[in-house]
Amino acid sequence: MHLRRVGEGMSELGTEFCLVCGSPPPLFGERMCESCLRKRIKLAEVPENVPWVRCARCGIVEIQGKWVNISEDEVWDELIQRNLKFHVDAEDIAVGVETRTISDRHTMIYLQLEGVIDSLLFQEEHSMRARMANGVCLTCTRRAGNYYEATVQLRSTGRKLSEEEYQNLRATLDIVRESLSDDPMFFITNEGPVTGGYDVVMGSKGLARAWGRHLTKEYGGQVVETNSTVGRKDGIDVTRLTLLYRKPGYELGDVVRWRDNHWRPSSWTKDGAILERVDRQERTGATWRDLESSQVKSRMSDHIVVDLINQDSSVGEFLDPTTWVMASVRLPWDHNGKAAIRIARIDGEWIALHSMAIDENSSIE
């Protein structure tokens, strides 16, 4: 004789019923009919209130311990991502968001959610209240305490720079800062002209170094770094960086006085410049150190090109454009009889300049 248990028999016959209400199939999830399942399962859990912190001084936002500069819409997205808990089996999730400002601290976030659980489509509406609290970010805390990590000293060699030239150099810091990713420590603590240059005191060593690299690449010259230990905090030495940038007073094409002769720098090298001598055919490389004693005698932007009215083998005559009187000049060493030459006023005298590649690319008034 063969005995069967009741449950076995029902199962074999395919006659399962909802565990909760006894309804016939179709059944979903853990053997429940659709309406029982929908009563027991939610697509998402959404908290009523969610806090967030904004710096009262500069407006940046704290996201899981980090201060970041993001828009309000990004704050809402972040709060939704962090606080919305979807059912583990939910698939094909879609989220629609609308916000309404209640007060300067409170914002309602309305959510339209959609998702599929066990092949059943769920659509739910939820809301949560974002409550903003004021804080003070690390940067503002440090700024308020005059915190700084690095000083960049802008200086020059060979020639004093004008205030405008310092301002142009300073402006490149903003370009560098924008090219780097956002960092709350990229602030300026203090800055201004000092005797013989311009100083910028800032919150980040990294920013100081990036700026130094930019300056040498664009304007030649050298950066010298000095680190000093100013104390200890939490068992770690606190160091500060001083970065001295010396911009050569000369630019490519200028006439400089160097080792008792006149030269024109024609290109930058890794540690100096290539120079071409003015009074005879000669080229030489010189390091920044070699060139420290050089003096700018005539900037390229002050050179003029004049037409020769008369010329013999060594001397040319032209109308001095500053006095409209005939003047003469010794012809450049590479002169080939052409009618126009480039001249520079140096120590009260006109000096003719040989041709350089850079001359062709520059326009002269």
Which residues in this chain contact Zn ion in the complex, by CB under 5 A?
Answer: 18, 20-21, 23, 33, 36, 55, 57-58, 137, 140
Query: Which lies closer to Zn ion via its Cβ, residue 137 or residue 161?
Result: 137
Query: Least distance to Zn ion from the beta carbon of 203, Å?
Result: 12
Query: Which lies closer to Zn ion via its Cβ, residue 53 or residue 304?
Result: 53
Query: Least distance to Zn ion from the beta carbon of 166, Å?
Result: 29
Query: Which lies closer to Zn ion via its Cβ, residue 143 or residue 264?
Result: 143
Burial tier of 345 (Cβ tally within 10 Å: 0-12, 13-18, 19+): middle
Query: Which lies closer to Zn ion via its Cβ, residue 32 or residue 343?
Result: 32
CA geometry: angle 129, 130, 131, nearest 5 deg: 110
Query: Least distance to Zn ion from the beta carbon of 136, Å?
Result: 6
Which residues make Cβ contacts (< 8 Å) with residue 260, sequence separation at least 6? none
**Sheet containing 340-346, strands listed edge to edge, beginning at the edge strand earlier in sequence:** 304-307, 340-346, 349-353
Peptide bond just before 26 cis, omega within 30 deg: yes
Query: Which lies closer to Zn ion via its Cβ, residue 21 or residue 121?
Result: 21
Phi, psi dihedrals of residue 93, rounded to the nearest 5°: -80, 135
- H helices within the chain, ranges in order? 6-12, 34-40, 72-83, 138-144, 163-179, 205-219, 288-291, 357-361
Query: Least distance to Zn ion from the beta carbon of 200, Å?
Result: 20
Query: Least distance to Zn ion from the beta carbon of 32, Å?
Result: 5
Helix, strand, coil percentages for the chain (3-state, nearest 5): 20, 45, 35
Which residue is associated with the tokens 């000093």? 228
Query: Which lies closer to Zn ion via its Cβ, residue 55 or residue 169?
Result: 55
185: DSSP letter: T
Q: Are 343 and 329 in contact (CB under 8 A)?
A: yes
Report residue 355 as tokens.
């041709």
Q: Is 301 helix (H, G, I), strand (E, B) or coil?
A: helix
Query: Which lies closer to Zn ion via its Cβ, residue 140 or residue 308?
Result: 140
Query: Which lies closer to Zn ion via its Cβ, residue 19 or residue 327?
Result: 19
Query: Least distance to Zn ion from the beta carbon of 96, Å?
Result: 30
Query: Least distance to Zn ion from the beta carbon of 55, Å?
Result: 3
- Cα separation, 18 vs 20, in Å, equals 5
Q: Is 290 helix (H, G, I), strand (E, B) or coil?
A: helix
Query: Which lies closer to Zn ion via its Cβ, residue 32 or residue 352?
Result: 32
Report residue 341 as tokens.
């030459």
Rg (alpha carbons) of the chain, rounded to whole number? 38
Query: Least distance to Zn ion from the beta carbon of 35, Å?
Result: 6
Query: Least distance to Zn ion from the beta carbon of 60, Å?
Result: 5
Q: Are 203 and 139 in contact (CB under 8 A)?
A: yes
- Cα separation, 68 vs 190, in Å, equals 23
